[in-house]
Chain A
């Protein structure tokens, strides 16, 4: 489903990583770990093609970084769900509209939008907050709205960039449980994090970015 093939990527003229190759298959849950500045976010950007490799190739589903046309990128992104650490909710829309927004973009019908948004809100446990505005929600709730928005288009792969980074440990734990539930229902998840407590508590496949390269690691003990 997702394949990195001998990818080299640089940012602001500096090589962030090179010779990166790995695959993510349908339904997998993968942690992407590494110190700050090792290129976790860059790697995610390569997947949603906000950034392109210097050499090598990133392939997601039928789209490949070496052949994708600019006008195809929106359609690739509709097959992905993206969750950022810094929420990126629209402050002037309520929860329902923030999620519905991702469906309007695809030209979905009004009735389908209603059904899908309510379904996804129920999945993240926020049906009762559908008319609230982002500033009326706690950090954890806001992050769950972002997750709901990322899920509403039934993505093949959910990309989460430090989704627990700004949350209290308890709330972060709830967020993890939510992501694992989403994964259990068939959506692959690639989660960038440097929170080793979470990684230890919910062990899954781990890719580590270190010294400009990537490798799969197994936690000891």
Chain B
């Protein structure tokens, strides 16, 4: 089997069937723009949820009598708890000065002694910023005898959990439908492209072409169409996000696009083109010459 001939055939497939190649590439491009836009919005929404989860703070209040050495030991214990990303000590003095900053009053002018206990401000890794994880972390904190109280915004985290769940359900549902529609659309377009070349396939069979010889140019052509469709989808999305008016769509300011995303689209496009071709060409190869 001459690879050179097969490559030449694959590329000239574009030239020989300009219209159907154009339709195929455009369909792949549009499918990927649709899928890409959805993916971007979904990934950014996911990022927002992660960001919100990482903002969760847990305040752990301790007994006023805890010594510096004890505080140091507790800090080490807290930082070893799974899921805890940061532990910061708020000393009694620091607590008093925060009070003064926030309320504009010197506590020592109101009371004779400092009423504030020492405390720790804990942050958790985003993936631990859920109710389930907190329910595992909190008992760990309370194992320390000097801990008098643990405070965190349970409503905040409940709202995040609830919305994240809705978001996940919507994005997987819509994502599944969009992906399925793309695959269906692309494989049908490729099937039409190959249908237009059924006589070529029949003639190839008649003169003794092996299945691989017939199939390979179509697979390469499908792969190249997918790659081209993916690159064009990239360009379309770059154009779209560059031109989008931030005043009309304020959300666009928060969109972050991972450079890997622009590699993923041509990659997915090529895969789509390849798989579409494999499925479609198989049908025509298995047909009888006389059909």
Chain A residues with a Cβ under 8 A of chain B: 41, 45, 48, 50-51, 71, 74-78, 82, 88-90, 92, 101-102, 104-107, 149, 153
**Interface of B with A (CB < 8 Å)?**
1-2, 5, 16, 199-200, 202-211, 213, 288-290
A102 to B2, CA, bound (A): 13
Contacts of B205 in A (CB 8 A): 74, 77
Q: Which of B16, B200, B211, B290 contacts A50 (CB 8 A)?
A: B290
- When chains A and B are docked, how far (Å) is the Cα of A35 from the Cα of B134? 87
13 contacts between A and B (CB under 8 A): A50-B288, A50-B290, A74-B205, A77-B206, A77-B207, A77-B208, A90-B199, A90-B203, A92-B16, A101-B204, A102-B207, A104-B2, A149-B207
Which residues of A sit under 8 angstroms from B210, Cβ to Cβ?
71, 74, 105
Once bound together, how far apart are the Cα atoms of A89 and B203, in whole Å?
A: 8
* Top-9 shortest CB links A-B: A78-B208, A77-B208, A102-B207, A105-B209, A74-B208, A92-B16, A50-B289, A74-B210, A104-B5
Q: Which of A41, A82, A92, A104 contacts B206 (CB 8 A)?
A: A82
Closest B residue, CB atoms, query A72: B210
Report which of B2, B16, B206, B288 forms a contact with A88, defined as CB distance below 8 A: B206
- A105 & B288 in contact (Cβ 8 Å cutoff): no
User: Which chain B residue shows the least CB distance to A51?
Assistant: B288
* CB closest residue in chain A, given B210: A74
Q: Are B213 and A105 in contact, CB atoms less than 8 angstroms apart? A: yes
Which of B2, B200, B203, B208 makes the CB contact (< 8 A) with A75? Answer: B208
* A89 proximity list for chain B (CB < 8 A): 203
Q: In whole Å, how far is B106's beta carbon from the nearest beta carbon of chain A?
A: 91
Give complex CA distance A71, B205 in Å.
Answer: 12
Docked pose: A149 CA to B203 CA in angstroms: 11
User: What B residues does A106 contact at CB under 8 A?
Assistant: 208
Given the known A-B contacts A88-B202, A90-B203, are A41 and B208 also in contact in the complex, defined by CB atoms under 8 Å? no
Measured CB to CB, the nearest residue on chain B to A101 is: B207
Q: Which of B16, B203, B209 contacts A74 (CB 8 A)?
A: B209
Bound CA span A149–B5, Å: 18
Report whether over half of chain B's contact residues are helix, strand or loop; otherwise say mixed.
helix
B209 cross-chain contacts in A, Cβ below 8 A: 74, 105
Bound-state Cα–Cα, A76 to B1, Å: 17
Given contacts A77-B206, A92-B16, 4 further A-B contacts (CB under 8 A): A74-B205, A74-B209, A104-B2, A105-B204
**A107/B1 in contact, CB under 8 A:** yes
Residues on A with C-beta less than 8 A from B16 are 92
Q: Tell me the nearest residue of chain A to B207, going by C-beta.
A: A102
A105 CA / B208 CA spacing, docked (Å)? 7
B213: chain A residues within 8 A (beta carbon): 74, 105
Instruction: Give Cα A104–Cα B2 distance, bound, in whole angstroms.
Output: 7
Does B200 lie within 8 Å of A90, measured CB to CB? Answer: yes
Which of the listed residues B200, B206, B213 has the most CB atoms from chain A within 10 Å of its own CB?
Answer: B206
Contact of B199 among A51, A75, A82, A88 (CB under 8 A): A88
Asked if A48 and B206 make an inter-chain contact with CB atoms under 8 angstroms apart, the answer reads yes
Give every chain B residue within 8 A of A107 (Cβ-Cβ). Answer: 1-2
Q: How far apart are the CA atoms of A90 and B288 in the complex, in Å?
A: 18
Distance from B283 Cβ to chain A, minimum over Cβ atoms (Å) = 16
Residues of B within 8 A of A101 (CB): 203-204, 207
Chain A contacts of B202 at CB under 8 A? 88
Residues of B near A105 (CB, < 8 A) are: 204, 207-210, 213
A88 pairs with B203, CB closer than 8 A: yes
B289 to chain A, nearest CB (A): 5
The distance in angstroms between the C-alpha atoms of A166 and B264, with both chains bound, is 54
How far, in Å, is A116 (CB) from chain B's closest CB?
A: 13
A89, chain B: closest CB distance, angstroms:
8
Q: Which residues of A contact B2 (CB under 8 A)?
A: 104, 107
Point out the residues of chain B lying under 8 angstroms from A102, CB to CB: 207-208
Question: Which of A50, A90, A92, A153 sits near B208, CB closer than 8 Å?
Answer: A153
A64 and B263 CA atoms in complex are apart in Å by 52
Least CB distance from B141 to A in Å reads 69
Given contacts A90-B199, A107-B1, contact A45 B207 (CB under 8 A): no
Q: B211 and A71: CB pair below 8 A?
A: yes
Q: Could you say which residues of chain A place their CB within 8 Å of the CB of B289?
A: 45, 48, 50
Q: Which residues of B contact A149 (CB under 8 A)?
A: 207
CB distance from B68 to the nearest CB of A (A): 82
List, in ascending order, chain B residues with CB within 8 A of A104's CB: 2, 5
> B290: which of A41, A71, A78, A92 is its contact (CB, 8 Å)?
A41
In the assembled complex, the Cα of A77 lies from the Cα of B207 at a distance in Å of 6
CB distance from B197 to the nearest CB of A (A): 9
A107–B1 alpha-carbon span in the complex (Å): 5
Interface centre among B5, B16, B204, B213 (most CB of A within 10 A): B5
**Which residues of chain B are within 8 angstroms of A76 by Cβ–Cβ distance?**
208
